[in-house]
């Protein structure tokens, strides 16, 4: 049981490049989430998917898009990376939106 997995672990992009962060969970959870964490700060919600087939914006959605590919997978796409998107990105899942969330190990992204 791997829990929540994220790929890649590290990534360096140049300004304007695009990339997709991948997240998968094997706990049969309905809800999935993407957060970002800037140095010295708490986590901020980017997007979430309460159930397969639905996605909604969180606190800081600008510059990102998401896809709930199936029940297991939830990807985050940066279409045109900017230095302000340098951050650590965490994916999480929960049985339902009312239950505790389980987090992946994070992706450390640097945009130069």
**Minimum distance from residue 100 beta carbon to another protein (Å):** 4
Binding site for another protein (CB under 8 A): 4, 31, 35, 40-45, 48, 50, 56, 58-59, 88, 90, 92, 97-98, 100-106
**Minimum distance from residue 62 beta carbon to another protein (Å):** 17
Torsion of Cα atoms, 49 then 80 then 45 then 70, to 10°: 20
Q: How far apart are CA 98 and CA 25, in angstroms?
A: 17
The residue among 26 and 79 lying less far from another protein, judged by its C-beta, is 26
The residue among 56 and 79 lying less far from another protein, judged by its C-beta, is 56
**Minimum distance from residue 4 beta carbon to another protein (Å):** 8
The residue among 42 and 53 lying less far from another protein, judged by its C-beta, is 42
Contacts 24+ apart (CB under 8 A), 82-86: 82/15, 82/111, 83/15, 83/111, 83/112, 84/111, 85/36, 85/109, 85/111, 86/110, 86/111
**Minimum distance from residue 15 beta carbon to another protein (Å):** 25
The residue among 18 and 110 lying less far from another protein, judged by its C-beta, is 110
56, 75 in Cβ contact below 8 A?
no
């Amino acid at each position: 049981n791997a829990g929540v997995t994220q790929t890649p672990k590290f990534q360096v992009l140049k300004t304007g490049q695009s990339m997709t962060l991948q997240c998968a969970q094997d706990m049969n959870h309905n809800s999935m989430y993407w957060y970002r964490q800037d140095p010295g700060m708490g986590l901020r919600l980017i997007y979430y998917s309460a159930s397969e087939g639905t996605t909604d914006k969180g606190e800081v959605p600008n510059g990102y898009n998401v896809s709930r590919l199936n029940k297991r997978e939830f990807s985050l796409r940066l279409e045109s990376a900017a230095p302000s998107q340098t951050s650590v990105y965490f994916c999480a899942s929960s049985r339902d939106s009312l239950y505790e969330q389980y987090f992946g190990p994070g992706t450390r992204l640097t945009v130069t």
